[in-house]
Amino acid sequence: MASVLQFNGIRYAYPVIKWRSFQNRPLLSQKIGFETSVASVSGFCCKGSFTSKKVAFNASCKAVDSDILEKNENEDGFLSGTEKPFTCVMKFGGSSVSTAERMREVAGLILTFPEERPIIVLSAMGKTTSKLLLAGEKAVSCGVTNASSIDELNFIKDLHIRTIDELEVDRSVIAKHLEELEQLLKGISMMKELTPRTQDYLVSFGECMSTRIFAAYLNKLGVKARQYDAFEIGFITTDDFTNADILEATYPAVAKRLHSDWVSDPAIPIVTGFLGKARKSGAVTTLGRGGSDLTATTIGKALGLPEIQVWKDVDGVLTCDPNICPQAQPVPFLTFDEAAELAYFGAQVLHPQSMRPARESDIPVRVKNSYNPKAPGTLIEKTRDMSEAVLTSIVLKRNVTMLDIVSTRMLGQYGFLAKVFSIFEDLGISVDVVATSEVSISLTLDPSKLWSRELIQQELDFVVEELEKIAVVDLLQSRSIISLIGNVQRSSLILEKAFRVLRTLGVTVQMISQGASKVNISLVVNDSEAEQCVKALHSTFFESEEYAFGNGSVPALSSNTQGL
């Protein structure tokens, strides 16, 4: 028996007989500790319920015919030449591949699952991206003669050459990139200018080098791997340098390229995270800091994969940033909406846009710890049991600008709101949190937009000037947004508890907003008080005895993880 799915014009045949024979084999998920998730993934690996479950993984996949290729099956029950090449995408962040030792461990982790055929997405090694950005800034003012001795350049060279030597792969793998990187910094110092376009090209060296080293290392181990620069294989983006959006054309292009290469010469793809190619200019773009998560979910959607894994240096998505609350605990389950909101409101652990492709194609995302693979991690899916859920996570976004805008009643109510938002639209500024009354609006401006567009005081002054034509405006800087992500159906309970905490601390909440997403309540406070508030809120919601996730306990470790 075989099933055939059609996706992006490619027909995939699934070996149902073979898959059924996997029934007694530990699943990937079990092996790395996803015990309670087995119910959600069992459909794609075995149980004979393949046809319906598998199709459900990707709405774009279309069941074409279930028996038509039956006669083409080989002895194993596999269809020769039409087997679906990849079983998951695994993204490893900078912290997972920061040294030669870490690269060895990640390779070992991948090889723990010989039955899987993953696509690997890698970020730049460790803090390479931040160092490249700093090197670029220094190059602008250091003078051509000093460009070669910029500290960050030498740090990056040392790190990569040391890694190559320790992994015993050939230095030639990245020699050209190191040479070109130095030339580029000299060019920047000559021009005394670093445009967003050049900046993206500059930081692309990080991912281009880490993937080349890792692919060479796998090949040295005898595991056939092929390196890919995302901007060469169909990642098409807008021309918004430093924060580009992925365009729809990416999905079929990437699927076609990875699939056809596999068919002609099977090898594990090692793809650069974070990078794309601008549709109009053809230049290299980046997807915003942390963008490799988005690369991974884009590949997951493009190929209709059953699972997307993002491997980090923490035990999953936590109840709070562990740098603020060291007692933060992993959240076992999240919905796409919760994860997106959490990321959007500042949790560094996931890229804000990364949930979109996964949600659109309904592919589960797992957040795992490459330093602690036995930890169950976080499973992100479309829905979860919210019956007892209260609060999932607390997120802090600092350095926010807030505007209080009070109408001078020159316009009617709807005219007033429309005019205010058209001013922001014209200036291309995103608004984060909004609270309105008939004659006034309080809102916060998205700080990431401010950074990426270098929205300086002058531009803020211009916004105020425009708004002052119709309103009295108060510009309030150094504010923080505390986002309470959870079950907003229980907002009374959340707010009652939260305000008790804030009253005890003597903190005044300057704005409150309950998002239409129904998973987020945002509170605006002064920057100087924010961290103390988050700690106290975390202690009340997550460290007291009455706390429970309300969605089942953290999945217990599977006995199959013992070998890891």
Ligand X SMILES: N[C@@H](CC(=O)OP(=O)(O)O)C(=O)O
Ligand Y SMILES: Nc1ncnc2c1ncn2[C@@H]1O[C@H](COP(=O)(O)OP(=O)(O)O)[C@@H](O)[C@H]1O
Measured from the CB of residue 449, what is the shortest distance to ligand Y in angstroms? 19
Q: Report the residue from 273, 276, 330, 447 that binds ligand X according to the rule CB under 6 A.
A: 273
Neighbours of 412 (CB within 10 A): 11
Buried b (16+ CB within 10 A) or exposed e, 199-237: bbbbbbbbbbbbbbbbbbbbbeeeeebbbbbbbebbbbb
Residues 6+ apart with CB under 8 A from 245: 237, 238, 287, 353
Give the residue with the Cβ less far from ligand Y, 33 or 316.
316
**259 in helix, strand or coil?**
helix
Of 321, 317, 490, which is closest to residue 389 (Cα–Cα)?
490
**122 in helix, strand or coil?**
strand
**406 in helix, strand or coil?**
strand
Give the residue with the Cβ less far from ligand X, 367 or 523.
367
For position 123 contacting ligand X by CB under 6 A, the verdict is yes
Please state, in angstroms and rounded to a whole number, the distance separating the CA atoms of residues 304 and 298: 10
Cβ pair 482, 527 in contact under 8 A: no
For position 532 contacting ligand Y by CB under 6 A, the verdict is no
For residues 88 to 117, the per-residue mask of contacts with ligand X, x marking binding by CB under 6 A and - elsewhere, is: -----xx-----------------------
Among ligand Y, ligand X, none, what does residue 291 contact (CB within 5–8 Å per kind)? Answer: ligand X
Residues 6+ apart with CB under 8 A from 38: 27, 29, 30
For position 346 contacting ligand X by CB under 6 A, the verdict is no
Cβ pair 526, 479 in contact under 8 A: yes
CA 483 to chain centre: 19
Give the residue with the Cβ less far from ligand X, 54 or 312.
312
Please state, in angstroms and rounded to a whole number, the distance separating the CA atoms of residues 444 and 559: 48
Measured from the CB of residue 110, what is the shortest distance to ligand X in angstroms? 17
Q: Report the residue from 100, 119, 124, 188 that binds ligand X according to the rule CB under 6 A.
A: 124
Of 428, 334, 365, which is closest to residue 121 (Cα–Cα)?
365
For position 325 contacting ligand Y by CB under 6 A, the verdict is no
Phi, psi dihedral angles at 471 (to 5 degrees)? -155, 165
For position 36 contacting ligand Y by CB under 6 A, the verdict is no
Token look-up 């429309």 returns 418
For position 313 contacting ligand Y by CB under 6 A, the verdict is yes
Give the residue with the Cβ less far from ligand X, 123 or 378.
123
Among ligand Y, ligand X, none, what does residue 318 contact (CB within 5–8 Å per kind)? Answer: ligand Y
Please state, in angstroms and rounded to a whole number, the distance separating the CA atoms of residues 369 and 96: 9
Give the residue with the Cβ less far from ligand X, 273 or 330.
273
**Could you say which residues in the range 346-405 bind ligand Y, by CB under 6 A?**
347-349, 393
Of 328, 336, 369, which is closest to residue 353 (Cα–Cα)?
336
Q: How many Å from the N-terminal Cα to the C-terminal Cα in the chain?
A: 35
For position 196 contacting ligand X by CB under 6 A, the verdict is no
Cβ pair 507, 529 in contact under 8 A: yes
Q: Report the residue from 212, 301, 312, 497 that binds ligand Y according to the rule CB under 6 A.
A: 312
The stretch near ligand X (CB under 6 A) out of 287-295, 421-429, 465-473, 556-564 is 287-295
Give the residue with the Cβ less far from ligand Y, 320 or 455.
320
The two beta strands, 511-514 and 10-15, are: unpaired
For position 376 contacting ligand X by CB under 6 A, the verdict is no
Give the residue with the Cβ less far from ligand Y, 85 or 94.
94
For residues 271 to 300, the per-residue mask of contacts with ligand Y, x marking binding by CB under 6 A and - elsewhere, is: -------------------x----------
Q: Report the residue from 31, 289, 359, 535 that binds ligand X according to the rule CB under 6 A.
A: 289
Of 459, 371, 471, 336, which is closest to residue 95 (Cα–Cα)?
371
For position 354 contacting ligand X by CB under 6 A, the verdict is no
Q: Report the residue from 276, 291, 330, 352 that binds ligand X according to the rule CB under 6 A.
A: 291
Give the residue with the Cβ less far from ligand Y, 369 or 444.
369
Residues forming a β-bridge with 486: 391
Among ligand X, ligand Y, none, what does residue 206 contact (CB within 5–8 Å per kind)? Answer: ligand X
Among ligand Y, ligand X, none, what does residue 234 contact (CB within 5–8 Å per kind)? Answer: none
For position 96 contacting ligand Y by CB under 6 A, the verdict is yes
For residues 120 to 159, the per-residue mask of contacts with ligand Y, x marking binding by CB under 6 A and - elsewhere, is: ---x------------------------------------
Q: Which two tokens mark 227?
A: 């390196």
Binding site for ligand X (CB under 6 A): 93-94, 123-124, 129, 206, 273-274, 289-292
Binding site for ligand Y (CB under 6 A): 93-96, 123, 290, 312-314, 317-318, 320-323, 347-349, 393
